[in-house]
Chains A and B, each alone.
Chain A
Amino acid sequence: MNVRALRRHAGSVARFLLLLFLVTVAVFLLLEMIPGDPVDAILPADASPEQIAAARQLYGLDDPLYERYLSWIGGVLQGDLGRSFQTGVGVAETIAERAPVSLELALLAMLVALAISVPVAVWSAYRPGGLLDRAATFVTSATLATPAFVLGIVLVYVFGVQLGVLPILGWTPFSEDPVEHVHRLVLPVLTLAAGECVLFTRLLKGDMMATLQQDHVLSARARGLPTWRILVRHALRQSSFSLVTVSGVVIGRLIGGTVLVEAIFSLPGMGTMVITAIHSRDYVVVQAMVLLSAAVYLLMNTLVDLTYPLLDPRVRKVRTS
């Protein structure tokens, strides 16, 4: 770790903090930009001016803008994301209750996507133009043209309605019935995984094909190593770094994807929470969700930026020389 690398890391961290600050300001202003008085939503239509004034006083709406920002951000830093205007329940508690559903969905989709795309990409790169490669190319370009919400409904129609083999909608907690829980997760996870599958397969195959042209693969082959060993140890290991470069994009897509998938399959996650909140004008919930997802997204992207040179020594070597 020399001075240059340290300075670059410091730069990344500084940029992260600056962007995070800008994001919090924007998310705070989001609520300000919404037309109408926020207290209208909680007070009866015939509320007297005194009642309105009292409510504004209670929520601190008459303080100057920067003071309200500071008190809001102070609360956020202590884990207080505000209280729903509709239900009066703390937003942080609602999120804590719903986050496991969305996280489980995203994590499983990621694993399924990797489990499908890695073998397909490795074999397609090894035998380009072969049967599997052509089939994979066809399926990926078709999937790329199918938005998640279209794919989800079509899967529901085929497997739920026509074949009747999988349940269509709803959620069963793992603690109630583990088998039913997995059963109900199949279609949502497949829908969410499909898009990532395309991304991983295309990226990994392209990178693997380039890697397989390199000298060390030729030398491994000349030494008579078995094919699987060359593919996995010599080519896949090196090419898998390319997957890390897209993890930022993948996280952003998964956050958006869970919103859609939860809406399609009526799952009780954070996505349905935010959509319900928009429809019931419960803007504090929307604000919290936007803040949280942007913060996570920004943090993950910065981490990828920082760890990439640690994972791939070739990048590190050029940098330090």
Chain B
Amino acid sequence: MTELVQDRPVTAPAAPASVADIKPVRRKRRDVGAVFGAAWIALVVLAAIFADVLPLPDPNAVTNAFSAPPGGAHLLGTDAIGRDVLSRIVHGARISMAVAIGATSIAMVIGVTLGMVAGYFRGAADSAIGIAVNFMLSFPPLIFLIAMVTALQPGLVTLVVALALLGVPNFARVARANTIAFADREFVTAAKALGARPIRILTRELLVNVMLPVMSLALVVMATLVVAEGSLSFLGVGVPPPAPSWGGMLAAGRESLREHPLLVLIPALFFFLTVFAFNRLGDWARGRVGRESSI
């Protein structure tokens, strides 16, 4: 029992930043889910990139076919004012992916920089960065986003900036923890003995080791940010209409849920599959990174 007592964390265990942070207890050997996840994400990214080239009607073009059922000229039907649903889904994927990839990348660059500086230099830099990160964590996530979109005017840039800021603390935390874990290793000591400057040690020696757990965290953050963007668009404070977004389509379709449920169920399905795909990829990546790195 003495070892058990020793094994307990010295401080209260850090609370996970989201549900997805909690590791699933059982992991399958052959990961069909991850393969599906990669395929689905690839499809959505390609659709987002080639949205303008694909043979689809303009997502904002109004036709006379109001709330048409799927089939014929409109593969997934049309919405209440006659806009092509498939085209809006494909163009809406641009916003979801801009957020997933764009905001996560920005958050990763800022977060990893802050986390590594804090973890390597410790002392005053660590305290200052700690306060900054804790300050960002002082707001409930959705309230933080609502405050940001209120202060800056709604639009895609605002959205990406706000969501990127939301992701920064996660990356800073993981980067700091892993930097601390690696900073005492022999290869770092050797580099120091050879006269390497801190900037070189951080970029050449530590960054590669820190990036592995950071990349697997990035997949989880992408799922969270897609949901966050959807929540804002659903509440009507995301990308302003008529620009197509999945959350906006869901909110608009809600008004005719009884007569035309597909207008809600189609964007709902796209949300589900995309978030599910990111989660499965995240689980898979975490399994590959292993338990020795703290995520």
Collect the chain A residues with CB atoms within 8 Å of residue B231's CB.
Answer: 147-149, 256, 260
Q: Kindly identify, within residues 82 to 119 of chain B, every residue whose CB is under 8 Å from any CB belonging to chain A.
A: none
Dominant secondary structure of chain B at its interface with chain A: helix
Interface size on B, residues (CB 8 A): 61
Q: CB of B43 within 8 A of chain A?
A: no
Please tell me the size bucket of the interface on A: 35 or more
Stretch of B16-24, B56-64, B192-200, B204-212 on the interface side: B16-24
A317 near B5 with CB under 8 A, answer: yes
A106 to B214 CA separation, bound complex (whole angstroms)? 33
**One of B16, B140, B234, B261 near A297 (C-beta < 8 A):** B140
**Given A153-B264, A157-B257, A278-B150, A319–B135 Cβ distance below 8 Å?**
no
Q: CB of B141 within 8 A of chain A?
A: yes
Q: CB of A215 within 8 A of chain B?
A: yes
Q: CB of B13 within 8 A of chain A?
A: yes
Q: Kindly identify, within residues 122 to 157 of chain B, every residue whose CB is under 8 Å from any CB belonging to chain A.
A: 131, 134-135, 138-143, 146-147, 149-153
A129 to B28 CA separation, bound complex (whole angstroms)? 11
Q: CB of A225 within 8 A of chain B?
A: no
Q: CB of A202 within 8 A of chain B?
A: yes
**Given A27-B147, A137-B24, A150–B140 Cβ distance below 8 Å?**
no
* CB nearest to B234 among chain A residues: A149
Collect the chain B residues with CB atoms within 8 Å of residue A279's CB.
Answer: 236
Q: CB of B272 within 8 A of chain A?
A: yes
**One of B6, B11, B150, B230 near A30 (C-beta < 8 A):** B150
* CB nearest to B20 among chain A residues: A144
A145 near B279 with CB under 8 A, answer: yes
The interface centre, meaning the residue of B19, B131, B141, B227 with most chain A CB atoms within 10 A of its CB, is B19
A215 to B3 CA separation, bound complex (whole angstroms)? 12
Collect the chain A residues with CB atoms within 8 Å of residue B4's CB.
Answer: 214
A145 near B151 with CB under 8 A, answer: no
B15 near A248 with CB under 8 A, answer: yes
B25 near A293 with CB under 8 A, answer: no
Q: How far does the Cβ of A239 sit from chain B's closest Cβ, in whole Å?
A: 13
Collect the chain A residues with CB atoms within 8 Å of residue B23's CB.
Answer: 202, 206
B235 near A198 with CB under 8 A, answer: no
**Given A23-B138, A157-B264, A146–B5 Cβ distance below 8 Å?**
no
* CB nearest to B267 among chain A residues: A150
Collect the chain B residues with CB atoms within 8 Å of residue A38's CB.
Answer: none
Q: How far does the Cβ of B207 sit from chain A's closest Cβ, in whole Å?
A: 29
Collect the chain B residues with CB atoms within 8 Å of residue A275's CB.
Answer: 235-237
**Given A145-B279, A275-B236, A314-B5, A203–B22 Cβ distance below 8 Å?**
yes
A263 to B234 CA separation, bound complex (whole angstroms)? 9
Could you list 30 examples of A-B contacts with CB < 8 Å?
A: A19-B135, A23-B135, A30-B151, A35-B153, A141-B24, A142-B276, A144-B19, A145-B273, A145-B275, A146-B275, A147-B231, A149-B250, A154-B265, A199-B22, A202-B22, A242-B13, A246-B15, A248-B15, A255-B143, A259-B146, A260-B234, A275-B235, A286-B150, A290-B139, A290-B147, A293-B140, A294-B138, A297-B139, A305-B12, A315-B9
Which chain A residues have a beta carbon within 8 Å of chain B's beta carbons? 15, 18-20, 22-23, 26-27, 30, 33-35, 128-129, 133, 137, 141-142, 144-150, 153-154, 156-157, 161, 195, 198-199, 202-203, 205-206, 209, 214-216, 242, 245-249, 251-253, 255-257, 259-260, 263-264, 274-275, 278-279, 283, 286, 289-290, 293-294, 297-298, 304-305, 308-309, 312, 314-315, 317-319
Instruction: Taking A141-B276, A195-B19, A286-B147 as given, write out 7 further A-B residue pairs in contact, using a Cβ cutoff of 8 Å, ordered by the A residue number.
Output: A147-B231, A154-B268, A202-B23, A251-B140, A259-B143, A318-B10, A319-B10
